Structures are given as C-alpha cells and as structure tokens.
Structure 1
Amino acid sequence: MAPGPAVRAQRPIVDYHQLVDPNAKWWKNSRIVKRNLWIFLLLITSTANGYDGSMMNGLQLINQWESAFDFPTGAKLGLLGAIQNIGSLGALPFTPYLCDGLGRKKTIFIGALIVVAGAIIQTAAQNVEMFIGSRFMLGFGLGFCTAAAPMLVIEIAYPTQRGPVSSVYNALWPAGAVVAAWLTFGTFHIESSWAWRVPSAVQAVPSVLQVLLVLFCPESPRWLVAKGREAEALRVLAYYHARGDEDDALVRFEFDEIKNAIEGEKVQKQTGWLQLVATPGNRRRMRIIIAIAFFSQWSGNGLASYYLNKVFDTIGITDQTEQLLISAFLNVWSAINAIAGGLYCDRIGRRPLFLISTAGMLVFFVLQTVCSAQFAIHGNKAAGNAVVAFLFLYSAFYAIAWSPLITSYTLEILPFNLRAKGYTIFAFSVSASLVFNQYINPIALAALQWKYYIFYCVWVAFELVFVYFFLVETKNRTLEETAVIFDGLESVAEVFDDNKSDKKDE
C-alpha cells in the first residue's frame, strides 16, 4: 500500500520560492536577524522542558537527593518522574483558549511565570510532598509555554527558514538535557543538599528570560488576522520580511494567503473541536498526529531519558561517576544529532528522515536487547559494554527525526483555526504517553529486567510500518499550501485565484 493520492497532489499555482532572492544572505538582513533572536527566545522553551527530564535522571544518581526523599523506588519514583507531565496535562484544557484568545506571546508569559514560581518552590522543598507539588506547578506552566511557543515560532518564521527553525525547536530538548546532565555531574560532589537544589534553581533561568522579554516579541500575523487586526499583521510581515516595505511581493503573497485561508476556514466553520474529525482530511491529520505523539515517547527512549540508572543496573554499571558521565555524553550526542536532523529536514525531507530514524532505532534496540540478555544470563561483561555502544547508536537515530520533527510536523499539517486545538490533542497524547511510561517503566524494569525491552522491539517495528504507509511529505510548502496534501487542491483554490486576480488588478 503506497501513500494515498493526496501525497502526490499537484503543487499550488504560486511558489513562494520565486519571490525570494536565492542569493540573499539572511545574516546580512538586520530585520531577519532580529526576528531570529526573538525566535531563539521561544526555542529555549524546549530547552527548559528537556532540562527537566535529564535533571530528574541526574538527581536519582545523587545520594543527597535520594536520602532527602527517603530513597524513592517503584511507584513513588514513578510518581516523581511523572508528576511534571501530569501538571502539563492539567494545563491542556486551557491552552487552546489562551493561545487563540489572548495570543501566543501572552500565553507564554503566563506559563513562564508559573514555571519560575514552581522552580523556586522546588529549590526550597523540605519534603517529598513539597517537591512533588512544585514539579506539578512546573509542568502546569510548561504546558502553556510548550503549546504557544512552537506555534509562534512556526507562524513568524521567514518562509524559507520555517522548516529548519521550527524543527530545531524540539531539537533543543536534548540541548536542555545536556545542560542538566553536566550540571548534575558538577554538583554531584557538593556534600550538602545544594547538590540537588542548584540544578532545581537553574531550571528557572529560561523562564525568567521569557518573563522579562517575551511581551516585546512580535505576535503571530495569522493570529492578528484572525482577530481582525490586519493592518498590524501586515506591518509585522513587512517589518521582519521586507525591511518595512508593505508592497513587497513576498509580503503581499504571505498576507493575502494568510487572509484568504483564514477567511475560508471561518466560512467552512473549521473552528470547533468536532472539526478535528469532521472531514476525511482532518481525520487523516489526527491519525498521524496522535500516532507520532505516542511513538515519540513509546520507542524505548523513555528508559534512557528518565531511568538510565536502572538500565545501567541491568548491565552491571553501578559506579555513580561513571553513570553520570555516560548520561552527560549521551545527551551531548543526542543534541548534536537532533539539531543536525532539524537543520537538514528541508534538504532530506520529513518522510525520509522519519523512515531512516525509525529503521535505525529498531536495529539498535534489538541489538541492545540481545546484549542485555547475554549479560543477564551469562554475565558477559563485553555484552554489557556493547549495550552502552548500541544505546548511543539508537539515540543517534532517534534524535535525527523524533527529537526535531514531531512538533514542527504536527503544526505544519494543521490549518490555522484548528492549530491550537489540534496541537492540544498532540500535547495531551505526548503527556499521557509520558505519564504512562514514567510510571510503568520503573515498575516493569524491576519486575522483568531486560525482558521488558522485548516489548519495545515489537512496538518500534509497528512504528516503522505505520511511518511507511501513513506519513506524508510537507517540505517546501507554506503552512497554507500544506492543506492541499490533506484536503485537495480545491481547499486552497480560492486563495490562489484571489492572488491571481490581485496581480491582474495591479
């Protein structure tokens, strides 16, 4: 079964690449540089999220943290790992209404304030209940930030940079993990409770920057158009994309395309929750979105992200310094590969990257399972060391697609009026899968040891089949053009007819 007819749909009439000077260097345009600096402020949201997972991994390797909270294991340890994502789940019912009502940047501001408050309480925690409550707050605030930030990134990015820039958003998750891994390694030698309080305090840094600066960031032109603030939207596009020239061909194309697409969605009443499953195109979108959300967390990566010390225990690596060093280098390795995958997504394509990534994950997770079994059954030290090597290779293949692309791909395939709600479903699916994984993984590892890996081998094989048959290519399209893949040419025909009419009128 090959991808459906919509995958091979004819390209729209207008190609925005024709309106961009191919020889222009973005770093020579001060307005684009300024806009990219604002985007960087939004990208660190993902860094903050990645920091949390790695920090919890590192804290479990610090005796001061374990003794402070009575050496948590099993269900208690699972709750400590999962509570942050439970907090994110608690925020989800509110995020689409804040994103669509107040705007993207105000939603980020509110979320960042909550994160800062949670980090302060976490740093000052005197008992496990206080620590758990603070982590719920952190998750609740991050729920707002991680919903609004990637939407704003993808909606203000320069057209030819949108794919790499928006993909780097999620690729910075492992970058945050790198900071946390090395920080916990550095504080490991502090003999007081500051060994774990310092990493807890540093978690607030990205959110403090956002509290101070994000309200000065440009708002999404698409949100402004949807709110009837068309003149303001045109000024934003012109300022950042054409040095203030509102008559620039690219700016007019973007503005007209956005305006007509949003008007068309309103006419078709594509705004309610039921619209997510009301048409064949939207059902196809949701099938892909929910699948990649669960796949991103149910591919065995949760073991390395949150319970790496338990994995080490199964292969005889028990020295804390050695565990922390491997964890730190693994996060650096993952960050490098994730950023590379994000930057090259427009050259290679989303679908090929997902296929290469998932196939590589399957191969090396199977080898990791075989070697873990050899160590457990025969005590083969070489097999135990091989697990570490295969873990690095598995992480590289996971990172090139599943780290950078899941967020940008989800937002690319959603039309504007359903973007916040559709992304909420994606975020809910990610958080739900994380809560399940974080709670179940330590229990299953304790009970089954290496045999638990077999489940992931089978599951990743299923993921590869799904990716091959259902994921579609979206590279080199504007957000509005991507609707063609799912809804057919008629969904955007009016947009391009209007563009042609405007040109004739000129």
Structure 2
Amino acid sequence: MSTFQRQYVSNLVPGNQKLFTAILIMVAVVNSATLGYDTSVMNGLQILPSYSEYFHLNVATTGLNNAASWMGSILCTPLLQFVPDKFGRRKAIMVSATVCFIGITLQAAAQNIGMFIVARIIVGLGTQLSSGAAPALLGELLPAITRGRILGFFFSCFYVGSLTSAIINYGSQHIQSTWSWRLPSLLQIMPSLVALCLLPFVPESPRWLMSKGHDAHALEVLIVTQGKGNPNSEVVKSTFAEIQAAMMSEKTQLPQNPWKEIVSTAPNRKRLFILCTFGVMINSFGNFVVSFYLGKILDQAGITNTNTQTQINVILSCWSFVVACIGSYMLDVIGRRKHALGSVAGMIVCLYLVGGLIKVYGESTNKSGIYGTIALIFLFQGCYAFSITPMTSLYATEVSQYKLRTTGIAIFRFFDSGFGLMSSFALSYAMEDLGWKFYLINASYNIVFFVIIYFSWVETKGLPLEEIALKFEGPTALSGQMLSDEASPGEGDLKQPEKRDGVVTTLSL
C-alpha cells in the first residue's frame, strides 16, 4: 500500500491526534479568553477612579458603557449564521479577530464617552462572531469522546481572559495617568492575535466542506485528524458515512432556508425553545451582576477600599477558572441535564443568603457578616462556573443539526446578548433602588429556569453530533442511511468521493 499523500490539508495540521487535540484546546483557550477579557475589563475599569473621573460617569453612562458591547453583539447575530456557513468557520474566526483589532484600538485611544462607546460596540461585534464560529468549528472537528470536555473547556477559558484582565487592572491602578485604563484596554488585542497565529494549524470543518460539495477534502480532514493518516481506518469510514447520511437526510427533511426550518417541525420548535430560554438564562442567573458590578456588590457588603476590591476581583477570577475546568471534565461524567440542575439549585440558595446577609450586615462593621457575604459570592460564582460556563459553548452547538447549527447558535446568542444589553441598563438602577431585595428577586426567577431545564432539556452526553438528532426526531433523523450505505466506501476499497466541481480524485491504496 502506498503512502498516504495530503492533497488538501496543510502540512501544518498535525497528524498526531494528541498534538492536534492540544492545538484545538489552545484555539478554545484564546478565543474564549477574548470574550472573558472583553467582558471583565469593564468590571476592572469601573473600580479604577481614573476611568470614572475621566469620563465623568454616572448611573446612566455606567450602564451605557457596559451595554455598548452587547449592542455590538446584537448587531452581529444575523452574521453568526451567514458568515460561518457562507465562507467557512476558519475565515469567520479571521474576520472576528480583524474586527476586534479595530475596536480595541479605538477603545484604547478614546478621547470622550462617545468614542469609547462606539469602540465597545465594534469589539462586541467582533467577539460575538468568534463566539459563534469557534464553537461550531471545534464541535465539528472533535469526536464525541472529547467534544464535551473540550467544548466545555472553551467557555471555561472565559476566566483566563477574566483573570488576565483582573491582574492587569490590579497592576495598572498605580499608573498616575489615563494609561491606568488605556493599557488594560489595549492589551485586549493579545488573545485575538494569538488566535490568528493558531489558524494555520487547524483544518476547516469536514461537515462544512461536505455541505459545499468538497467531499474529497472533507474525507482527507477526517483521515488526518481521526484516522492517524490511514485511509482504511474504520473510524474514518464510519464517521464519514454517518456525516454523509445526516447530510443527505437534512437535504430531504430540511429543504427550506434554515431560519424557516427552525420553526417548521415540532422537534425543531423544541430546539428553538431550548435555545431561546437558555440564551435568556445566561445573563439572568445573577452572574451578570458579579461580572459587571462586583464593585457595587462589595460596596453594599461594606468593602469600599479600591485595592481590596481589585484583589477580590483577581481571586474570584482564579476561583472561577479552576471550578469551570473541573466542571468541564465532569460534563461527560454527570451529564448535561443533571449538571445544570445541580448548579442552578446552588445559585438559588446562594442568592437568597447573599440578600439576607447584605440586609443584616451591609452597612455594619461586623467582619463575620462581611466575610460571610464574600464567601457566598464565591460559592454563587462557583455554582455558575461549574456548569453554566462550560455549557455556554457546548449545549447550543450540540442540540442543532448541521444545517441549523449556526442558525441555532445565532438565535441563542441573540437572546444572550439581548438580555445582556437589558441587564446592562437595568441592573445598575435595580441595585441602586432595591438594594438587598434585588438578590431575592433574582433567586426567585431562577426557580423558573430550574423548572424549564428539568422539563425541556435532553441529555447529549457521549453522543456523536449526528446521533443527537435521534433525541429530537427519532429514527427518521437518519433516514438517509440506506442511501449513504450505498454511496459510502466499501471495505478495503476506500476512495475519495467525486468532487462536485468536476475534479475527480482517488486515493491510491
């Protein structure tokens, strides 16, 4: 048998599966760190007096500054389906990094509040595009056995960016100029730069390639990434046949535009309900308050020293990252549904207790009460980080079929960003007016989220993407299997499929 020769996949893409998995983990880290830094930099900046004084911030402009990136995210949601499906997942990541460069440069150079807000909108647009394209690429490249952990790890690395931002803000608070906030803004550019450097080592999604008629290229990606360079690999044969069956079935069952298909059948409407409600939950559990208004929470708890607040911000980011990494690993042990239910229950309890402690000790000097409040904030954030953080990039990717995947992610991100935008404006006023009662109200509507998860979520643990459809459609999801079996390569005679652009290639065995 002659040696396998690559015709489409770059030689920079490693054939060693362990090395390739490590690169995908790095892609997850840097793309998620971009999101984490972007979100958490505002938390750190608002603790710095130089930032608030430069822009003469009040309650309204503070909310507007926080809301600006969410505005960009909402503007980007129509592109989350179009760009990755039209041009590919890799090119979408490249575009997102370029947009982030522009926004970050403007933010660091901002001369007034208007310029800063426009910059934040542009950054929000760029990071949102990455949050759709990168999970889709990773989910479609990874086998089921590692998909849960690595995709869960994707958003867990949000805290890498959050921690980096917290450390930089802690150090920059001593700079006696506007560079105390300009430097943390400028350094947002680093994760996007690293993401661009990693792209040559990652192939395009085989599912996207097959959807565009490049079956030969798709098969070669599978041989390199899952078959250890062996064209006769049984793993490659079965994976290729399964993808092919699902693609053919989708063409028959989902002939319309994906935006129409998402509401056309009962199984798709169930997917839509899960995506919409989960999108609402992401920024409504109470984590948004900790991410954007930690300084205000600490003020209410009786901790007003800027240096102490920035130290707590750093420690909280470290804690959240460690817990999120453990939670990512446990996704394939506990399962998605039980994982989420346990964490939501924990958050409900913590918020009720935080509200009670702030009521009793918020304006006192009782150190035990203050430390108890801080401990509960850490426990709350741990509950969120353990489950919801890793599920953010995983569950929306898993529940949708290929044709609906980027559409589903776009819908999920629209509701995520929309409620993030609403929270940005509303929470600063709610916390100001309601005080300790705010936390009790938040805990109460989290009970509704618990009920929704209990009755609507399906378990996807350990299932290939194509088999998850069986949880929604039943056996008809793979009705194209017979056609695929006739078209799929036979034992010992694996040939690359005919390319639809007229070029026919065959592997020599």
TM-score, normalised with respect to structure 1: 0.91
Provide the C-alpha distance between the structure 1 equivalents of 2:159 and 2:261, rounded to a whole number of angstroms. 34
Match of 1:334 in 2: 320
Deviation at 1:30, TM superposition (A): 2.2
Provide the C-alpha distance between the structure 1 equivalents of 2:71 and 2:385, rounded to a whole number of angstroms. 24
Deviation at 1:452, TM superposition (A): 1.4
Match of 1:475 in 2: 461
Alignment: residue pair count: 478
Provide the C-alpha distance between the structure 2 equivalents of 1:98 and 1:245, rounded to a whole number of angstroms. 33
Provide the C-alpha distance between the structure 1 equivalents of 2:405 and 2:305, rounded to a whole number of angstroms. 47
Q: Does 1:146 align with 2:134?
A: no
- Contact 2:28/2:151, CA 8 A, preserved across alignment: no
Match of 1:108 in 2: 93
AA in 1 matched with 2:336: R
- Contact 1:271/1:418, CA 8 A, preserved across alignment: no
Deviation at 1:381, TM superposition (A): 4.5
Match of 2:189 in 1: 204
Provide the C-alpha distance between the structure 2 equivalents of 1:56 and 1:357, rounded to a whole number of angstroms. 26
Q: What's the CA shift string for 1:440-478, capped at 9, x where partnerless? A: 111111112111112101111111122222212111100
TM-score, normalised with respect to structure 2: 0.90
Structure 1 segment 430-449 matched on structure 2, within 5 A: 430-449=416-435
AA in 2 matched with 1:466: I
Structure 1 segment 63-462 matched on structure 2, within 5 A: 63-70=49-56, 72-215=57-200, 217-268=202-253, 269=255, 271-376=257-362, 380-462=366-448
Greater shift, 365-374 or 474-483, is seen at 365-374
- In structure 1, the residue corresponding to 2:78 is in which secondary structure? coil
- Contact 2:28/2:153, CA 8 A, preserved across alignment: no
Q: Cα RMSD (Å) of the superposition? A: 1.9
- In structure 1, the residue corresponding to 2:389 is in which secondary structure? coil
For structure 2, list consecutive stretches of 5 or more residues without a partner in the other structure.
1-13, 493-509
- In structure 2, the residue corresponding to 1:437 is in which secondary structure? helix
Deviation at 1:312, TM superposition (A): 1.0
Identity %: 32
1:54 to 40, 44, 48: 40
Provide the C-alpha distance between the structure 2 equivalents of 1:501 and 1:132, rounded to a whole number of angstroms. 54
AA in 1 matched with 2:430: A
- Contact 2:25/2:154, CA 8 A, preserved across alignment: no
Deviation at 1:383, TM superposition (A): 2.3
Deviation at 1:315, TM superposition (A): 1.4
AA in 2 matched with 1:228: G
Q: What's the CA shift string for 1:106-145, capped at 9, x where partnerless? A: 0110110010111111111121111111111101111211
Greater shift, 477-486 or 50-59, is seen at 50-59
- Contact 1:270/1:418, CA 8 A, preserved across alignment: no
- Contact 1:265/1:271, CA 8 A, preserved across alignment: no
Deviation at 1:272, TM superposition (A): 2.6
Provide the C-alpha distance between the structure 2 equivalents of 1:217 and 1:53, rounded to a whole number of angstroms. 26
AA in 2 matched with 1:483: A
Match of 2:503 in 1: none
Provide the C-alpha distance between the structure 2 equivalents of 1:31 and 1:469, rounded to a whole number of angstroms. 38
- Contact 1:358/1:464, CA 8 A, preserved across alignment: yes
Match of 1:492 in 2: 478
AA in 1 matched with 2:134: A
For structure 1, list consecutive stretches of 5 or more residues without a partner in the other structure.
1-27
Deviation at 1:496, TM superposition (A): 7.0
